[in-house]
Amino acid sequence: MSTQRPVVDYSLTKRAVLRDFQRGLVAMGEICDSSPYLRNAARFHGEQTELRCPVCRRENLTYVRFAYGEALRQSAGQARRPDELSLLAATVDEFQVYLVEVCRGCGWNHLIEQYLLGTRVTGSNSPRRIDVDINERPERYGRVSQSARRDGAVATAGCDE
């Protein structure tokens, strides 16, 4: 990990979903359900990656980042390119970014990570954490913040065999 930003990592959740799919427990239609909005966001604001789609294995994945936060006012919830996020991070107090991977071929999509950006975040020496409601389906979260882990609420994350 090269970043010191507070990050919630959803890779374990993603792996669990893909495992269920490979075992035939989940239909392709259930996991390849990107909305027209998400597809458009991927098309116009996405970042093409070199990563192959784990479901159809035909297309490369596109990363789409959505910015949320009161400080963003009416633009909250919009997809943002990395350069736009850098600009926002330098001018806005604090906002959350949701990074989603999308396959523009089959429609696979999954939340990859969630993190905080903004002048208050990068300018602060004290680590901040993202408030995640871990009581709501804690098994859905891969790694959560230190304070949550202290509570033991996610002690079983990744052991959901």
Residues found near Zn ion in the complex (CB under 5 A): 53, 55-56, 103, 105-106, 108
Counting Cα atoms < 13 Å in the Cβ hemisphere of 123 gives 9
Nearer CB in complex with Zn ion: 58/128: 58
Q: How far is the CB of 13 from Zn ion (least distance, A)?
A: 18
Of the candidates 56, 60, 19, which has an alpha carbon nearest to the alpha carbon of residue 158?
Answer: 19
Nearer CB in complex with Zn ion: 56/71: 56
Q: How far is the CB of 32 from Zn ion (least distance, A)?
A: 7
Q: How far is the CB of 58 from Zn ion (least distance, A)?
A: 6
Nearer CB in complex with Zn ion: 102/121: 102
Q: How far is the CB of 137 from Zn ion (least distance, A)?
A: 25
**Which residues lie closer than 8 Å to 25 by C-beta, 6 or more apart?**
none
Nearer CB in complex with Zn ion: 20/151: 20
If you search the block for the tokens 């882990």, which residue do you land on? 149
Strand bridging mode 60-68 / 47-52:
antiparallel
- Residues 97 and 76: their CA atoms lie apart, in Å, by 10
